[in-house]
Structure 1
Amino acid sequence: MATTDNFYSRLVAWMKIILPLTALGLLSTLFLISRHIDPTKSIPIAEIDLEQRAQDQGATNAAFAGVTGGGDEVMITAETARPSPENPRLINAEDITATMQLVSGTVVTVTSDRGNMDQSDLDASLIGNVKIDTTTGYKVTTERLDARLDVLHAETPGPVSGVGPPGDLTAGRMVLTGDEETGQAHLVFTDGVKLVYTPQPSEDIDQ
């Protein structure tokens, strides 16, 4: 019986030494294994993202506002806008809405898929699915509209189609200009204008 108690005591004593050493060994093994994991492996992805962001520097929900020499207010907003890689003075934008509040009271709203604005020349081009809507009743579509930002002047280098107070119309070109002296805006259709006149319904007057 004494031998058994003696063996048990020795076993307990040895276990008190062996178990802590085993635990220490396991911990050091974990640390050694963790040293083989390279945490910098994820950095190249982050660097690529930062480099791409630096190249694609720009803004979302960008806005530009100004006043022409004749007092017409111009506001241009875009979903995204960033400088052109080839020409830093050129701003490329997407999902554009341009609003022109004319001195005469007329409001012209233009939307397009994309466009660009030259900061030095103060001009802009709206390209792709261009829609022009005026409070005087004109709704016109075209593929491109070139406009000045310092004076009221916008024109389409290509054909337009739409509707207006007179009826349905198509033309090879459209020009919007303003008279700085009177403040009046002039919308002119040229180059093969075709108009399908729509008579306005007359009101019946009770006698």
Structure 2
Amino acid sequence: MHYDNRHSMLVAWAKVALPLSALALLSVLFLFSGKADPEMAQLYAKVDVAELAREQRMTAPEYSGMTEDGAALTVTAAAARPDTDGAGASAADLKAKLETPGGFTADLAAKAGRIDPGSGAIVLSDQVTVQTSSGYRLATTKLEVATDRTALTAPEPVRAEGPFGTITADQMRLGTSESGAQDLVFNGHVRLLYQPQE
């Protein structure tokens, strides 16, 4: 019985002493902690803190939608900055995928671009590449991707590596034909370097 009283007393003192000790430790931490130095924080930060504070930016934005003809369009970017008029956003390191109900796919990539679904188009620029499931790999400086239908348009010179050779042209358009298949049409000064498969 004597042991129970001593144990109860010890528990009662611990209930008071331990929280008070914790409170004292926290007080000491706050008293002796210095102010955060923004200059030192920038040395260890992996991002430019001053730039983030100056301008609005979205990190890793993603756009997904369905066109009127049933194709799925997904666009991702490393970062995007909203336009001042709020109509769209400028983006960096874009990747996009277009998938039609018939199984055709196109994987797109670009160093820069502009996302504006309200205007019905996403514009890719700077080292644009397109890889299609039909075996074409295209490179151009600008590519317009429609968000309301299956359509890719390159208004500037394009180079394509295909199953039968290399094509260069002033313009290119990929769209859906009346039969539902995807047509790849080259316009302007079109040049084909035929390379027969062995």
| TM-score > 0.5 by shorter chain | yes
CA apart distance, 1:59? 1.9
1:129 pairs with one of 123, 127, 131: 127
User: Cα gap change, 1:128/1:50 in structure 2, threshold over 3 Å: closer, same or farther?
Assistant: closer
Q: 1:73: which partner in 2? A: 72
Q: What do you get for the CA RMSD once the two structures are aligned?
A: 2.5
Superposition pairs for residues 48-197 of structure 1, below 5 Å?
Answer: 53=52, 56-85=55-84, 87-179=85-177, 182-197=179-194
Q: Which has the larger radius of gyration?
A: 1
Q: For 1:22-44, what per-residue CA distance to the aligned partner results, in whole angstroms no more than 9, with x for missing partners?
A: xxxxxxxxxxxxxxxxx7996xx
- What SS class does the counterpart of residue 104 from structure 1 fall into? coil
**Could you say if the C-alpha distance between residues 78 and 71 of structure 1 is closer, same or farther in structure 2, counting changes exceeding 3 Å?**
same
Judged with a 3 Å threshold, the aligned counterparts in structure 2 of structure 1 residues 141 and 41 are, in CA distance, closer, same or farther, namely closer
SS at match of 1:120: helix
Whole-Å separation in 2 of the counterparts to 1:111 and 1:195? 24
Q: Distance in 2 between matches of 1:124 and 1:112?
A: 12
**Unaligned segments of structure 2, at least 5 residues:** 1-34, 43-47
Q: Percent identity of the aligned residues?
A: 29
Separation of aligned partners in 2, 1:200 and 1:167: 9
1:89 Cα offset (Å): 1.3
**Residue 14 of structure 1: aligned partner:** none
CA distance in 1, matches of 2:129, 2:75: 14
Cα distance, 1:95 vs structure 2: 0.2
1:138 and 1:174 map into 2 onto residues whose CA distance is 12
TM-score by length of 1: 0.69
Length, aligned pairs only: 159
Contact 2:117 2:147 in 1 (8 A): no
